[in-house]
Amino acid sequence: MNDILPDVTGTWRYLESIVQEIVESYGYSEIRLPLMEHTELFKRSIGEVTDIVEKEMYTFPDRNGESLTLRPEATAGLVRAGMTNGLFHNQKQKLWTSGPMFRYEKPQQGRYRQFYQFDVEAVGYSGPDVDAELIIMSARMWQRLAISKISLQINSLGTPAVRERYRAELVEYFSGVKNQLDEDSIRRLEQNPLRILDSKNPDMQAIVDAAPIMLDYLDEESAAHFAGLRALLEAAGVTYTVNPRLVRGLDYYSHTVFEWVTDALGSQGAVCSGGRYDGLVEKLGGRATPAIGWAMGIERLVALYEVSGGEAPTSDADVYIAAVGEGTLERAFSLAEELRDSITGIRIETNLGGGSFKSQMKRADKSGAAVALILGEQELADGCVGFKAMRSTEEQISVAFDQLAETLKKKLN
């Protein structure tokens, strides 16, 4: 679990604000959710035989003996919230949420135990149109952030019936080569054979590569859905590859699954992953409701933005006010407030802790401020400040209090 320190929070906030702005521009609204839920919710939604539920959850009894779990992902809680609050009764919802998720994983570069996700979910929409829109929306993010080292993989898992049939084929195939399976895969063979396709064990690759392919089993409805998605992506100019081995780690997916991957971040290549989960609301006790969503890892977005040469917006001060002498601090404070009133977003540091003129100017320099305003007893008496452009060789000038906002506005942009 990491501390996100001030030297990077500017980048985080910048990226989060861009992503928010983009999803809002598609008509999505924010929902804020609890960090923990009943353990049962995750077991039922994510599935008992998944990495998350088997070994990654932070689960504990509360004082009442109820089993609670720190959320490992956002979809389950969002669906629970929608059901609890009646958001899905005869209405569609386009929602986004963000915040920390918790998984007891082996920590490594790009993989943490508390990490942050930005999450988008469209509930009540069944067609491939919304699938396409969600993907187009994520493509817009990369474009806006000038991130190019990323590519899209898509696949279809079909309807639950298709998946059931395919599952039987897989069990038959893997049973035939059982003596070559690793321990994990043997365990999954009975419970969750699709997850064998997801195996990261290089010794398993040949066996996995020769396994039957899901897309060959799609029924008419599933094939039409997938073809619809592909056509819309192509029309929108979003390039993709079909990866028939993309199954995604969670049980609840059906039809479309997709992942934006990069090879610019070493082994943690998944940046934004999503899929359709038409059965989840019903599985949690609601009326059958189609839905789809994606989640993006913010740490990975930040890392990818940085390796793509993205610049963090500076958090340096614009103005540093030095105040030396009797009565100057009071005026420095009121001057700073007046400037904040008249120049939206201006970042002003007023010298704190006193000090000589020289030491205050040193701090002004260190603050990164573009302009230092110098207020001594003489200036106070004359109704002006010394105005020094810190990052240039320009001579210091004198500016009257009532001209200050105008002069600064010109100087700062």
Q: How far is the CB of 277 from ligand ATP (least distance, A)?
A: 12
Backbone conformation region of residue 235, classed left if phi is above 0, alpha if psi is from -120 to 50, else beta: alpha
Tell me whether residue 78 or residue 373 sits nearer to ligand ATP (CB atom). 78
Tell me whether residue 170 or residue 301 sits nearer to ligand ATP (CB atom). 301
Tell me whether residue 115 or residue 174 sits nearer to ligand ATP (CB atom). 115
Sign of the alpha-carbon torsion through 92, 94, 100, 101: positive
Q: Which residue's C-beta sits nearest to ligand ATP?
A: 297
Element (H or E) spanning 207, and its range?
helix 205-209
Q: How far is the CB of 305 from ligand ATP (least distance, A)?
A: 13
Tell me whether residue 133 or residue 259 sits nearer to ligand ATP (CB atom). 259
Tell me whether residue 161 or residue 307 sits nearer to ligand ATP (CB atom). 307
Q: How far is the CB of 258 from ligand ATP (least distance, A)?
A: 10
Q: How far is the CB of 19 from ligand ATP (least distance, A)?
A: 13
With the CA atoms of 142, 148, 149 and 153 taken in that order, what torsion angle do they form, in degrees rounded to the nearest 10?
Answer: 60
Q: How far is the CB of 269 from ligand ATP (least distance, A)?
A: 7
Element (H or E) spanning 346, and its range?
none
Tell me whether residue 296 or residue 370 sits nearer to ligand ATP (CB atom). 296
Q: How far is the CB of 11 from ligand ATP (least distance, A)?
A: 16
Q: How far is the CB of 117 from ligand ATP (least distance, A)?
A: 5
With the CA atoms of 122, 128, 134 and 135 taken in that order, what torsion angle do they form, in degrees rounded to the nearest 10?
Answer: 160
Indicate the DSSP class of residue 122: E
Tell me whether residue 39 or residue 117 sits nearer to ligand ATP (CB atom). 117
From the DSSP assignment, how many helices (H) and strands (E) are in the chain? Answer: 15, 16
Q: How far is the CB of 293 from ligand ATP (least distance, A)?
A: 10
Tell me whether residue 112 or residue 142 sits nearer to ligand ATP (CB atom). 112
Q: How far is the CB of 105 from ligand ATP (least distance, A)?
A: 5
With the CA atoms of 167, 168, 174 and 177 taken in that order, what torsion angle do they form, in degrees rounded to the nearest 10?
Answer: -170
45 touches 283 (CB < 8 A): yes
CA 411, CA 14: separation in Å to the nearest integer?
24
Over the range 236-246, which residues count as b (16 or more CB within 10 Å of their CB) and which as e? eebebeeeeeb
Helices within 210-348 (DSSP H only): 220-235, 280-283, 298-307, 328-342
Question: Residues in the site for ligand ATP, rule: CB under 6 A?
Answer: 73, 103, 105, 111-112, 115, 117, 249, 268, 270-273, 295-297, 299-300
Tell me whether residue 61 or residue 266 sits nearer to ligand ATP (CB atom). 266
Tell me whether residue 69 or residue 328 sits nearer to ligand ATP (CB atom). 69
CA 72, CA 55: separation in Å to the nearest integer?
11
Residue keyed to tokens 């701090």: 363
Residue keyed to tokens 């260190």: 366
Q: How far is the CB of 299 from ligand ATP (least distance, A)?
A: 5
Q: Which distant-in-sequence residues (6+ apart) come within 8 Å of 361 by Cβ?
A: 322, 372, 374
With the CA atoms of 186, 189, 190 and 191 taken in that order, what torsion angle do they form, in degrees rounded to the nearest 10?
Answer: 100
